[in-house]
Chains A and B, each alone.
Chain A
Amino acid sequence: MATATSAGGGEVRLTGICRSYGTTQVVRDVNLNAAGGEILALLGPSGCGKTTTLRMIAGLVQPSAGEITIDGAPITGLPVHRRNLGMLFQNYALFPHLSVLENVAFGLAMRGASKTETTRRAREALALVRLAGFEDRMPAALSGGQQQRVAMARAIVYRPRVLLLDEPFGALDKKLREEMQIELRQLCNELGLTTILVTHDQEEALILADQIAVMRGGRIEQVDNARAIYERPVSHFVADFIGSSNFIAAGIVEKTGDHTLLRSAGGHLFASTVANDFSATDRVAVAIRPESVRLSPGEQPAAPNTLSGTIRRSLFKGQVLSVWMQNGSNGEFQVSVPIEEAGTLSPRPGEIWTARWSAERTLVVREQ
């Protein structure tokens, strides 16, 4: 069944989408494109407009301006029930008065499928999410993971072109969540569904999505694949929200090709070989991931991409040892030391150590 359904997901395009409630602008000029069969994550903190954007695609919220198309056909004027989308809700939204089979069959029944056809396909969908044998149970008698699977089966049984997910794993515990994420990814790929996922969990976005759109204050900060977002964040916000970073405000003093030389207010020099679009007049900062940094004992001679400081504290975090060091003009600086190196390298509070990182690991980001 899986391969037969790969009729291909629809291409979803958002052009100049805005939404305001009264004078509050919740979504501002969002332009997005999810190619057929792609998994796109809308990632951002709560209140960034990601859920509103998703609900506008579903038709549950009307955009104040802009247009949404699927495969080129505008759907903005279409009522919710005629958009032929699948959606997974935060708390699954299973119908409590219907059995598992009836829940899954709901969408087919609404499409006027015959009784036998409906039952057959609902059973197939349940088998696909590994819930065969649960047909007659009531949703309340299922575990969280099982409810999630029923919701999944219900959303895909009528073969929608696009699947929308609104924080679908929020209610599950960590281990189950990871399992479900991997299962979902497989299922979406098998069915070739275009999937748009809303999440505030960066890890979830990294695991699931082909493309991530980072949102903030109703706007899109950056859209790219997971790796590019992580390795080349464009703004302070993105570098901070995806993974963590040390930030040092600096100005561009020289730029030739992909080589950028920056200087902080304290006179430190930073060299970057990561491509960026900034010029000397932009307000930028240097961002350094804690795991990009190497530590060595004692104070070293001043050089680009080198900072010395006093160790404040260190914290064992399982796979890494997190170390915070204080550098006079640049404030606190966080370093992650892989645990296998931490045995030989053990910075103690009060000692002076030097942090060093390579120019390929020096990110230049826009300051807000």
Chain B
Amino acid sequence: MNETVSPLLKIVVGVILLMVVAPLVVPLLMSVSDTPYIVFPPQGFTLKWYAEVLANPEARGSFLFSLELAAIVTLVSLAFGVPCAAGLTRYRVPGQDAVLGLILSPLIVPLIVTGVALLQLFALLGSRATMLQLVIGHTVVCLPYVIRSVSASLLLVNRNLEDAAAVLGAPPHLVATKVIWPQVRPGILAGGIFCFIVSFDDYPISMWLADGNHFPVPLYLYTVIERSFDPSIAAIASLMIVFALLLVLVIEKVFGLSLARLAS
């Protein structure tokens, strides 16, 4: 870890990071522009767009709804994804590859197609439970992320440690909590974060399944862009970016240390 890094590598990494981060900075800058429409570079400085957005009950409602939806989807995805990943990695199941392929397929099929398919399915079933439909739709899309990261961490679990714990006198349930859990926790956590963010950001699935009472933030943002073009759009976008950053930071603070300890 203490190897000296060549200056060229530093420059390349710097450029890549810049390309990733620069687009995110643009709405942040535009959101403080003291003009009635979006301009870049921003002119003047004001926080009134943030005040406007936060005071707007529609915007607030969408934001809170997205949070609720993402939280439920994360819980459901973990509830299905963790046992599924455990089954696929730790046991020999007939048709293992087919099951895995099926679960990961939403990553390959365009989301918009998945969304239409789900809409047709729900229409066929005569379903009117929008919330349930949204949760199912998002879970289908989020599950691959959970399964991927949990499987990866389960595959890295050192089976010797389980044997060692058992010989040392740990009954199976304590082997699971004291030895397996600390090893897979980072993977489950990462899967959960991905899941939350994918659901929170999702447009193509929600577009087909949402209704006026269940209106996630990305849809709201899109309708606002169609209606007007003032910096409040940038303010909403900025709030979403800051929120995602905060989420990652909090998790890094709470669990990051244990990751660093493992890697040291």
Interface contact B170-A138, CB-CB below 8 Å = no
Write the chain B residue with the least CB distance to A110. Answer: B169
Whether B176 sits at the interface, judged by CB under 8 Å, is no
Known: A97-B258, A106-B168, A138-B264. A60 touches B174 (CB 8 A): no
Whether B179 sits at the interface, judged by CB under 8 Å, is yes
Against B, the Cβ 8 Å flags (1 = close, 0 = not) of A83-117 are: 11111011101011100000000110011000000
In the bound complex, how far is the Cα of B162 from the Cα of A213, in angstroms?
A: 28
Known: A93-B161, A97-B182. A110 touches B261 (CB 8 A): no
Q: Residue among B167, B169, B174, B264 with the most chain A CB within 10 A?
A: B167
Interface contact A107-B169, CB-CB below 8 Å = yes
Interface contact A91-B160, CB-CB below 8 Å = yes
- In angstroms, how far is the closest chain A Cβ from the Cβ of B36? 56
Interface contact B164-A81, CB-CB below 8 Å = no
Interface contact B182-A110, CB-CB below 8 Å = no
Interface contact A81-B169, CB-CB below 8 Å = yes
Range of interface residues on chain A?
Answer: 20 to 34
Write the chain A residue with the least CB distance to B168. Answer: A107
Whether B111 sits at the interface, judged by CB under 8 Å, is no
Q: Residue among B168, B171, B174, B258 with the most chain A CB within 10 A?
A: B168
Known: A93-B161, A97-B258, A110-B174. A140 touches B264 (CB 8 A): yes
- In angstroms, how far is the closest chain A Cβ from the Cβ of B164? 4
Interface contact A80-B167, CB-CB below 8 Å = yes
Partner of A81, one of B158, B171, B258: B171
In the bound complex, how far is the Cα of B258 from the Cα of A311, in angstroms?
A: 65
Note all chain B residues with C-beta closer than 8 A to A80: 163, 166-167
In the bound complex, how far is the Cα of B164 from the Cα of A60, in angstroms?
A: 10
In the bound complex, how far is the Cα of B180 from the Cα of A37, in angstroms?
A: 34
Interface contact A111-B169, CB-CB below 8 Å = yes
Against B, the Cβ 8 Å flags (1 = close, 0 = not) of A247-261 are: 000000000000000
Note all chain A residues with C-beta closer than 8 A to B171: 79, 81
Write the chain B residue with the least CB distance to A164. Answer: B167
Q: Residue among B160, B161, B164, B183 with the most chain A CB within 10 A?
A: B164
In the bound complex, how far is the Cα of B168 from the Cα of A91, in angstroms?
A: 16
- In angstroms, how far is the closest chain B Cβ from the Cβ of A218? 21
In the bound complex, how far is the Cα of B174 from the Cα of A107, in angstroms?
A: 12
In the bound complex, how far is the Cα of B164 from the Cα of A87, in angstroms?
A: 7
Interface contact B165-A106, CB-CB below 8 Å = yes
- In angstroms, how far is the closest chain B Cβ from the Cβ of A320? 40
Residues of B within 8 A of A (CB): 158, 160-161, 163-172, 174, 178-179, 182-183, 258, 261-262, 264
Residues of A within 8 A of B (CB): 58-60, 79-87, 89-91, 93, 95-97, 106-107, 110-111, 138, 140-141, 154, 158, 164
30 A-B contacts (beta carbon < 8 Å): A58-B167, A59-B166, A60-B163, A60-B167, A79-B166, A79-B171, A81-B167, A81-B168, A81-B169, A81-B171, A82-B169, A89-B160, A89-B163, A91-B160, A93-B161, A93-B163, A95-B164, A95-B165, A96-B158, A96-B262, A97-B183, A97-B262, A106-B165, A106-B168, A106-B178, A107-B169, A110-B168, A138-B261, A141-B264, A158-B169
